[in-house]
Structure 1
């Protein structure tokens, strides 16, 4: 059992400073005292080598590194590993990596011969760096938790999305259908549909090669319904925009999307802006670019309240799974909706 220090210690890399600062503010509110980010510099030499220097004493402290491994994935991953090494060599008592978006998660199996399982390699690197626990959200494949030989707490965005959906569509939930954009995501969509008491349908897709969708079929009745597509990652948005078109052709009244991680690379923002979707809701697990912030039909919901409470629960040695409960989360998000 780790003895409780006066407060948890938070430190952040450069991947998503706004989220780290929001988590810090939330932890401070809950603790009734200032819990700022540990003063440190994370920078690059001229040859792009990453250098970390921690300016505060962290000996015997319970440290939380807030660092999604989003684009540029390799740089942000190396920042995380080097920060962990710096803290371990500075005698931190425990190091927890808070990784809101876990990069390389889509490489979780060998789909073809002579290909890597990069998610397992990244898990090995994280454990070898001295990190003793991982806190993340909506892993692309839940079995990735088993790639780690250290504890992994995987939070879910569906409770946050259910609060938002009930706020936006509360008076007409009987006309809402939750959509899984593929067969593999049915579990995620079913969980959200169950939370808000709505019907479930599936868009079955046949993919010829990565990034290209050949054919889509709607399984289920969406006639006259407000359809809400639910998924964990939106990258180039090609599949998402085509799914919206297919649903409207099948008789849907309108289409909205709730996606946990807005990777939104390449032409994604332009595609979404010009698409038939009424809105795309993403979390702030990945720092939004200026085009994303300015897009008329993209909205961002905060994850800081959930991550701050999860950090406090880990620090206190209490249950993290309590955050999956609607009532617990509603209390944390009180005033937001």
Structure 2
């Protein structure tokens, strides 16, 4: 691209956007993103973007629909202002759990969101740890799918935990847990569970030896915290000496933070893809930044360089 590199942000996670811009050694693009008195979202660009290579940082976290609308309107405004290329940087992709029909007469919401982003005018998408990797195929534009595993693994290694074992909280996350296990040099255990209804899980059985070991639960997101706390208790009941948890996205819906705070988890590590509120220190929740990784990916996209090195 010959155009200038610009980074804009909606209101979903401006702190992350500013940190990304700082890593890129540029200022954050100026835009008015607010609401009219009737509740409609208002967007107005305050910088000239004609011919520029623009990246819009906006995770679609709670309130999901509002932040999604901000993203769509920012993309449309940039397209109509003659930006040369618009990349939607979506650190956390909302509606990712609705990537398939689980029963009749349901929408495939993750696909609809992909269609909306493309229709708004995005040329490509940069995201991180999609709940269902198949969502990449919902887009008819290029998707770069980053992973936070290296940053999380580096932190876990820095703790020098004795006799670690990585635990997948469900069978669907075995591949993720196995890759994490290889990064830190640990064993592997798997918890089998079922969901009788959305956001409710029941532990059925466990595969792998955790007795006397330091268990590290690895998942892509923590939502209500119920599944995580139940898995931690199951590990302690099986003889684990202590339990840690790692996840890319700290959704922390409802009263998840106090639920985790009351649990026996030693520490819960998440990234800053979603901004956090509440007393995380009291709940022993630590946040690590993925801004440098996103900044590197943005610079490589801007310069038309390969991103393969970031996926290793």
Query: Normalising to structure 1: TM-score of the pair?
Result: 0.91
**Residues 140-219 of structure 1 aligned to structure 2 (within 5 Å):** 140-169=131-160, 172=162, 175-219=163-207
Q: Which position in structure 2 is the counterpart of 1:24?
A: 21
Q: Tell me if 1:136 matches 2:134.
A: no
2:292 and 2:305 map into 1 onto residues whose CA distance is 17
Contact 1:269 1:295 in 2 (8 A): no
1:51 and 1:63 map into 2 onto residues whose CA distance is 19
| 1:144 CA displacement | 0.2
Q: Tell me if 1:268 matches 2:266.
A: no
Contact 1:256 1:278 in 2 (8 A): yes
Which of 6, 24, 39 is 1:48 aligned to?
A: 39
Q: Which position in structure 1 is the counterpart of 2:231?
A: 243
| 1:212 CA displacement | 2.0
2:181 and 2:271 map into 1 onto residues whose CA distance is 19
Q: Which position in structure 2 is the counterpart of 1:308?
A: 295
| 1:213 CA displacement | 2.3
1:301 and 1:124 map into 2 onto residues whose CA distance is 31
Name stretches of at least 5 consecutive residues in structure 2 with no aligned partner: none
What secondary structure is seen at the aligned counterpart in 1 of 2:160?
Answer: helix
1:265 and 1:178 map into 2 onto residues whose CA distance is 25
Q: Tell me if 1:254 matches 2:242.
A: yes
What secondary structure is seen at the aligned counterpart in 2 of 1:291?
Answer: coil
What secondary structure is seen at the aligned counterpart in 1 of 2:47?
Answer: coil
Contact 1:217 1:246 in 2 (8 A): no
Q: Tell me if 1:69 matches 2:60.
A: yes
Q: Tell me if 1:100 matches 2:91.
A: yes
CA-to-partner distance for each residue in 1:270-299, whole Å, 9 max, x for gaps?
11000011110000000011333x434100
How big is the alpha-carbon RMSD for the aligned residues of Structure 1 and Structure 2? 1.0
| 1:59 CA displacement | 0.2
What secondary structure is seen at the aligned counterpart in 2 of 1:241?
Answer: helix
Q: Which position in structure 2 is the counterpart of 1:283?
A: 271
Q: Which position in structure 1 is the counterpart of 2:8?
A: 11
Q: Which runs of 4+ in 1 moved over 3 A?
A: none
Contact 2:262 2:283 in 1 (8 A): no
What secondary structure is seen at the aligned counterpart in 1 of 2:94?
Answer: coil
Q: Which position in structure 2 is the counterpart of 1:321?
A: 308
| 1:310 CA displacement | 0.4
2:8 and 2:203 map into 1 onto residues whose CA distance is 46
| 1:216 CA displacement | 3.1
Contact 1:106 1:140 in 2 (8 A): yes
Instruction: Name the structure with the higher helix share.
Output: 1
CA-to-partner distance for each residue in 1:202-235, whole Å, 9 max, x for gaps?
0111221122223332210001110000001111
Contact 2:236 2:243 in 1 (8 A): yes
